[in-house]
């Protein structure tokens, strides 16, 4: 089947670009001597997680217990829920999973230690724990230094918990467009981690892993010297938001290529100045940037509604009624979560483009 | 089961509020002598569509062929795809559906007439057609007046198509906060419809139905005197965006009550000034307004990421770690589309609150 025969809207993956992206990040981690634990919340797809592991990843991260359950069922045997897990129902599910695979979670509150330990005890399993510290993202995370070491000591005292180290992820830093702003944020991470490592040493605690970093900061964090495990996820697909980031010379960063596209059809050409496509909020997330038309210079996507988007040409040529167009999603993770299938295309932008694989978005809607 | 026992994030429906909303809109349409054809893209749920029909709705609207297929399978026997339908694959599916139910679609281009007629011919079925006109929303829709009448005449000449009338929906007008701005937009709709009716008369064409209006404009459109069928959808649930609309005296409009909530858990209280909940972009859409905490005065929801939201208290009390909170979605339609289930609660805000129904979001992800 050729891409033009696929009904729309559909979520396409440029397999060649994705594979290059996978190899590049795996190669970087290997050269840097870092563990790579890609975030599976980006793709939610077992087939892609397996490729990441085959290229050397130690396992994957998930954000939710339900995602972890799906990844373990798909054969991934080392999963970190890179997030706090609250409530007995979820903790019991996570601990049950730890009977079948190596499972970790983050804790940022002293009460979380006893809760996780009790769940592990009920399941007769052992859970890995990273103490999450606040590194500037103002989301979860205990204060660095002694408050973090206090939680870590409590973890180390629990026979069913295995203190692994620190979660030091700074989400907001990924999307500072300016290189110096990202570098500055990473300096803050390094400082917070060092302060905490000193406090760990004071308590005689060993920190085996400092996990963090994303597609926006992985190189800077490698240079920072404290992060040992990369949690990047978006590099697999890239998106319009990440494409705005600039390097130290103010240039676009082309390490990773856009590999995820929403295929849409022009359903109406009601006026010369606009073309309406059949992909709106329910086909492409708009929480970060709007989707961007691919290979349509001068054309922008505007005013999305639930099932429509409007293409407008400042100084470009609009596609005709019935034409199919590719949109680069503004934000890949929530866009993938809207779709049931990823349609993998080989030779995507060439004359021999064809469908090679159709993968379910296995963890679509897995929010629990 | 009580709401507090439901794992999070979950999508809850206040059944009492929803039923009041359903009755109020049904009562309004009956008193106004208008047909009510609620938009099923809001709830995507057969159980709710059936209740709407039981209260007098003539059928439902959908935005996509796949939604229409699901509604017909659920027993709804009159479905309008209130949208252009492009391409032979979709048109053939729609025409096949017309063998089992009364099915309509919108057309805004002369080529669309022959395409729909050919599909109806292949299926041996008849399709209702509304000619969609541009009424100010700058989305789909042919120019009003003679261009619209030209398409209508072409429809009327096709034995397998049934010219029903006009689609005159103005999406952007629904969310003008100011009453005068909405009234002004409705004046534009009325003018466009009148011009088109004159052109219809000139061609000897009959317009049986003028379909349009939404939760933001239904009263104004009733007063306008040209709209005969109401396509409102959001009134079932309401959301934070609609709650901003004001009446002619600048007052909030309380005709419809919020009936849809995302139940979330406080997963982290890392600092006195913030509480982090487990509901982000993948649990509540942020394309319009951000979700709003319910019954937590002085508390706002900020900085959502994929699976987190941050509650901040300007001058209110933040909930504790482990507490469950209700969020009113910013935009109900795309929020419903993120979830697999609607959990119906009876007596929601009282001491006897309990789960009465669990309905699948039947058309979740039906974007085709």
Residues 344-363 of B with CB under 8 A from A: none
CB contact B273 to A (< 8 Å): no
Contact A64 B269 (CB under 8 A): no
Cβ atoms of B50 and B68 closer than 8 Å: no
C-alpha distances (whole Å) from A61 to each of A237, A329, B62 are 16, 22, 38
Measure CB to CB from residue B141 to each of A171, A270, A285 and give the nearest one.
A270
Mean pLDDT confidence for A139-162: 98
DSSP 8-state code for residue B246: B
How close is the nearest chain B Cα to the Cα of A4, in Å? 11
Task: Provide, as residue numbers in chain A, all residues whose Cβ is less than 8 Å from the Cβ of B83.
Answer: 267, 307
H or E stretch including B212? strand B209-212
Minimal Cα distance from B337: which residue of A?
Answer: A282
HEC per residue, chain A? CCHHHCCCCEEEEEHHHHHHHHHHHHHHHHHHCCEECCECCCCCCHHHHHHHHHCCCCCEEECCHHHHHHHHHCCCCEEEEEEECCCHHHHHHHHHHCCCCEEEEEECCHHHHHHHHHHHHHHCCCEEEEEEECCCCCCCCECCCHHHHHHHHHHHCCCCEEEEEEECCCCHHHHCCCHHHHHHHHHHHHHHHHHHHHHHHHCCCCCCEEEECCCCCHHHHHHHCCCCEECCCHHHCCCHHHHCCECCCCCECCCCCCCEEEEEEEEEEEECCEEEECCCCCCCCCCCCCCEECCCCCEEEECCCCCCEEEEECCCCCCCCCCEEEEECCCHHHHHCCCCEEEEEECCCCCCCEEEEEEECCCCCCCC
- Per residue in A31-74, pLDDT (tens digit) is 999 999 999 999 999 999 999 999 999 999 999 999 999 999 99
- The two beta strands, B274-277 and B161-168, are unpaired
Distance of alpha carbon B300 from alpha carbon B291, whole angstroms: 8
What was the pLDDT predicted at A315? 82
Q: What radius of gyration, in Å, describes the C-alpha atoms of chain A?
A: 22
Distance of alpha carbon A212 from alpha carbon B136, whole angstroms: 49
Task: Provide, as residue numbers in chain A, all residues whose Cβ is less than 8 Å from the Cβ of B167.
Answer: none
The helix/strand/coil state of B127 is strand
Distance of alpha carbon A293 from alpha carbon A261, whole angstroms: 9
Contact A134 B64 (CB under 8 A): no
- The two beta strands, B292-293 and B324-328, are antiparallel
Task: Provide, as residue numbers in chain B, all residues whose Cβ is less than 8 Å from the Cβ of A306.
Answer: 41, 63, 333-334
What was the pLDDT predicted at A316? 81
Nearest to A234 by CA among A330, A346, A366: A330
Contact B108 A303 (CB under 8 A): no
Distance of alpha carbon A265 from alpha carbon A320, whole angstroms: 9
Two tokens at A330? 């503004």
Contact A140 B276 (CB under 8 A): yes
How close is the nearest chain A Cα to the Cα of B31, in Å? 30
Nearest to A306 by CA among A268, A344, A277, A336: A277
In this predicted structure, the answer to whether residue A94 has a pLDDT above a threshold of 90 is yes
Task: Provide, as residue numbers in chain A, all residues whose Cβ is less than 8 Å from the Cβ of B90.
Answer: 7
Task: Provide, as residue numbers in chain B, all residues whose Cβ is less than 8 Å from the Cβ of A262.
Answer: none
Contact A141 B270 (CB under 8 A): yes
Interface predicted TM-score (ipTM) of this complex, two decimals? 0.97
- Per residue in B182-214, pLDDT (tens digit) is 999 999 999 999 999 999 999 999 999 999 999
Residues 158-177 of B with CB under 8 A from A: 171
Measure CB to CB from residue B368 to each of A7, A138, A269 and give the nearest one.
A7
In this predicted structure, the answer to whether residue A10 has a pLDDT above a threshold of 90 is yes
Distance of CA A234 to the CA centre of its chain: 5
What was the pLDDT predicted at A49? 98
C-alpha distances (whole Å) from B66 to each of A97, A337, B72 are 36, 18, 10
Measure CB to CB from residue A365 to each of B85, B111, B338 and give the nearest one.
B338
Measure CB to CB from residue B365 to each of A85, A108, A340 and give the nearest one.
A340
The helix/strand/coil state of B27 is helix
Distance of alpha carbon B69 from alpha carbon A13, whole angstroms: 27
Task: Provide, as residue numbers in chain B, all residues whose Cβ is less than 8 Å from the Cβ of A3.
Answer: none
Q: Which of A142, A327, A334, A360 is the mutation pick for testing B, counting most B CBs within 10 A? A: A334
Which residues does chain B have with pLDDT short of 50? none
For the purposes of burial, counting CB atoms within 10 Å of the CB of A315, is it exposed (0-12), middle (13-18) or buried (19 or more)?
exposed
Contacts (Cβ under 8 Å, ≥6 apart) of A254: none
Distance of alpha carbon B342 from alpha carbon B325, whole angstroms: 17
Nearest to A285 by CA among B155, B305, B33: B305
Distance of alpha carbon B211 from alpha carbon B34, whole angstroms: 10
Distance of alpha carbon B209 from alpha carbon B207, whole angstroms: 6
Contact A109 B321 (CB under 8 A): yes
Distance of alpha carbon A265 from alpha carbon A325, whole angstroms: 6
In this predicted structure, the answer to whether residue A342 has a pLDDT above a threshold of 90 is yes
CB contact A92 to B (< 8 Å): no
Task: Provide, as residue numbers in chain A, all residues whose Cβ is less than 8 Å from the Cβ of B283.
Answer: 367
Contact A368 B322 (CB under 8 A): no
**Residue B208 CA neighbour count, 13 Å, CB half:** 8
Cβ atoms of A77 and A101 closer than 8 Å: yes
Distance of alpha carbon B247 from alpha carbon B251, whole angstroms: 5
Instruction: Share the mean pLDDT of chain A.
Output: 97
What was the pLDDT predicted at B315? 82
Contact B368 A8 (CB under 8 A): yes
CB contact A7 to B (< 8 Å): yes
What was the pLDDT predicted at B275? 98
Distance of alpha carbon A221 from alpha carbon B366, whole angstroms: 41
CB contact B269 to A (< 8 Å): yes
H or E stretch including B310? strand B309-313
Cβ atoms of B323 and B269 closer than 8 Å: no
Give residue A58's region: left, alpha or beta (phi > 0; psi -120 to 50): alpha
Contact B367 A338 (CB under 8 A): yes
Q: Which of A265, A336, A367 is the mutation pick for testing B, counting most B CBs within 10 A? A: A367
How close is the nearest chain B Cα to the Cα of A118, in Å? 16
CB contact A287 to B (< 8 Å): yes
**Which spans in B12-125 are helix H?**
15-32, 46-54, 65-73, 88-97, 110-123
Q: Which of B86, B269, B280, B366 is the mutation pick for testing A, counting most A CBs within 10 A? A: B86
Minimal Cα distance from B88: which residue of A?
Answer: A7
Nearest to A320 by CA among A274, A353, A283, A351: A274
CB contact A87 to B (< 8 Å): yes
CB contact A100 to B (< 8 Å): no
- Per residue in B301-353, pLDDT (tens digit) is 999 999 999 999 988 899 999 999 999 999 999 999 999 999 999 999 999 99
Task: Provide, as residue numbers in chain A, all residues whose Cβ is less than 8 Å from the Cβ of B63.
Answer: 306-307
In this predicted structure, the answer to whether residue A314 has a pLDDT above a threshold of 90 is no
CB contact A56 to B (< 8 Å): no
Give residue A115's region: left, alpha or beta (phi > 0; psi -120 to 50): alpha
What was the pLDDT predicted at B316? 81
H or E stretch including B223? helix B218-224
Number of neighbours of residue A258 by Cβ within 10 angstroms: 21
Name the one residue in this structure whose structure tokens are 């069922």.
A73
Residues 18-47 of A with CB under 8 A from B: 41
């Amino acid at each position: 089947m050729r891409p033009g025969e696929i009904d729309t809207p559909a979520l396409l993956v440029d397999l060649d670009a994705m594979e290059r992206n996978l190899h590049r990040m795996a190669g970087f981690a290997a050269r840097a001597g870092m563990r790579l634990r890609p975030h599976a919340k980006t793709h939610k797809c077992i087939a892609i997680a397996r490729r990441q592991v085959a290229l050397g990843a130690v396992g994957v991260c998930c954000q939710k217990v339900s995602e972890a359950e799906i990844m373990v069922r798909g054969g991934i045997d080392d999963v970190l829920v890179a997030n706090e897990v609250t409530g007995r129902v979820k903790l019991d599910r996570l601990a049950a999973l730890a009977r079948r695979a190596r499972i970790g979670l983050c804790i940022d509150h002293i009460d979380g230690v006893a809760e996780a330990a009790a769940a592990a005890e009920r399941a007769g399993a052992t859970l890995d724990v990273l103490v999450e510290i606040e590194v500037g993202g103002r989301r979860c995370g205990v204060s660095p230094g002694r408050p973090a070491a206090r939680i870590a000591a409590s973890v180390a005292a629990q026979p069913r918990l295995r203190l692994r180290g620190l979660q030091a992820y700074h989400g907001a830093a990924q999307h500072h467009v300016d290189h110096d702003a990202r570098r500055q944020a990473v300096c803050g991470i390094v400082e917070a981690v060092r302060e905490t490592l000193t406090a760990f040493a004071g308590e005689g605690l060993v920190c085996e892993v400092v996990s963090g970093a994303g597609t926006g900061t992985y190189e800077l964090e490698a240079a920072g010297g404290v992060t040992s495990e990369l949690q990047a996820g978006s590099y697999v697909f890239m998106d319009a938001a990440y494409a705005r980031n600039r390097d130290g010379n103010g240039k676009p960063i082309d390490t990773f290529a856009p590999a995820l596209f929403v295929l849409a059809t022009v359903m109406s050409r009601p006026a010369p100045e606009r073309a309406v496509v059949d992909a709106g909020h329910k086909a492409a997330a708009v929480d970060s940037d709007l989707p961007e038309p691919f290979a349509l210079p001068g054309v922008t996507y505007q005013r999305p509604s639930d099932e429509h988007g409007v293409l407008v040409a400042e100084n470009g040529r609009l596609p005709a009624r019935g034409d199919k167009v590719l949109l680069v999603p503004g934000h890949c993770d929530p866009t993938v979560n809207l779709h049931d299938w990823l349609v993998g295309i080989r030779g995507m932008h060439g004359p021999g483009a064809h469908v090679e694989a159709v993968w379910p978005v296995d963890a679509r809607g897995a929010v629990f």
